[in-house]
Structure 1
């Protein structure tokens, strides 16, 4: 499918694709993902009467990248995509779904006034809310590796030392067909760590989110991620929390889509 482009406030072109016809829900991917990662969920949502939009976050895929980076720029990117896909025939309604660190973008966008009616977050990684704040030394090491152009080492460091995957999982990632694509966007891992900060709950941002929110987690994710999701829901002014059957940090799109659709269209 041919990509369309929205222009963010700083002039950066943001590539997006749209699936289906109906009120739009913009899907925001997590770390090390491009828009293609959201297509399975987008297709499921399109089959349920929504118009699902996937996009490349800045610095990834077909989107541009303008320095210097700041979390506010990603909120502006989301707002630009929302503005490009909202339609009068849908009553101006638009929604957003954020996967992992993509949920941080959704929160920033909603807090800063993006025209969203409802939002869904899947396991926003505020691990500090569960007693595991982000280690600044590990973040600094990531930036050092990226700065030296050691992309493979940067991805491995992120997976092992920041995400906390076991050695066999990191080795599996290095041997996977997706490894070269992950290396291409290794520099955006610094964007994700900047979004997350120290991984504690951003109280001012959460308090500024006035729209209804659903925070989801998988029952097979780590207790830390589940607790972070629950704490996020409790801190938002108008939110509910649900745990769904799934695997680590994921729920099958065919099971996730009906839950997302039912909440967004309630």
Structure 2
């Protein structure tokens, strides 16, 4: 992996594959750069280069106590500067919230692809309180409890699904990412309702969602599209339950980038 340095001195790791116009992939909660590899590979097959990122507090990237959403904007800006040019950015879940916020703050982005961004349109205070509680759990060495609390209250997964995940082989890999749940909660709390600047970004915006996904994500995508005059909503049937289908998503990017 390559690395760059964010404005506050935090090391941010990223990986680039392929040739062609660049697309930066920004993952959501609990995701690291490697999780974006299938999508990155699909993008290279349709003529792009693809860049995946370990957001701060994840994988090979560094961290800094007191991180706020503006720090993650700086992280994305540092990666884009390292890559060069003005790439398209494909943000999934909270990564979509971050991508739109970054564009509104002047980060050089040629176009946005926002995959099921979880805008709550009004539940920011609840998420802010959750972020504070998650930080206390992490500080007390209770990373497992933080992961579960975020899944239940931040992502709003059904309790039986969360219990199944906790008993699965994947759970141990989630625990080291517990600190990042604080950052996702802070991001979606501060930006529960998109700012006027976010709603009026001048770059092309494509909002993607599946037909079969969580109702709150359907509502979020549809409401965001209704509030953004210049945005297009694209339904991707192949993407199911908040999992973007790599090949189908890459085709949408190819058609619109």
Structure 2 partner of 1:118: 111
Aligned-pair distance for 1:215?
A: 0.6
Structure 2 partner of 1:78: 76
* Contact 1:209–1:237 (Cα < 8 Å) also in 2: no
Listed as ranges, the gaps of 5+ residues in structure 2 are: none
Deviation sequence 1:55-97 (CA, Å, 0-9, x none): 10011110111232111111111111111112xxxxx341100
Structure 2 partner of 1:238: 230
Structure 1 partner of 2:169: 177
Report the 3-state secondary structure (helix = DSSP H, G, I; strand = E; otherwise coil) of the residue aligned with 1:177.
coil
Structure 2 partner of 1:150: 142
Structure 2 partner of 1:167: 159
Query: Which of 54, 66, 70 matches 2:52?
Result: 54
TM-score (norm 2): 0.93
Work out whether 1:258 is the aligned partner of 2:244.
no
Let me know the Cα RMSD of the aligned residues.
Answer: 1.8
Aligned-pair distance for 1:260?
A: 1.9
Number of aligned residue pairs: give it: 255
Report the 3-state secondary structure (helix = DSSP H, G, I; strand = E; otherwise coil) of the residue aligned with 1:185.
helix
Work out whether 1:217 is the aligned partner of 2:209.
yes
Report the 3-state secondary structure (helix = DSSP H, G, I; strand = E; otherwise coil) of the residue aligned with 2:121.
helix
Structure 2 partner of 1:247: 240
TM-score (norm 1): 0.90
Distance 1:79 1:133, change over 3 A: closer
Q: Determine the C-alpha separation between the residues in 2 that align with 1:250 and 1:145.
A: 28
Report the 3-state secondary structure (helix = DSSP H, G, I; strand = E; otherwise coil) of the residue aligned with 2:107.
coil
Q: Determine the C-alpha separation between the residues in 2 that align with 1:236 and 1:67.
A: 34
Q: Determine the C-alpha separation between the residues in 1 that align with 2:218 and 2:124.
A: 15
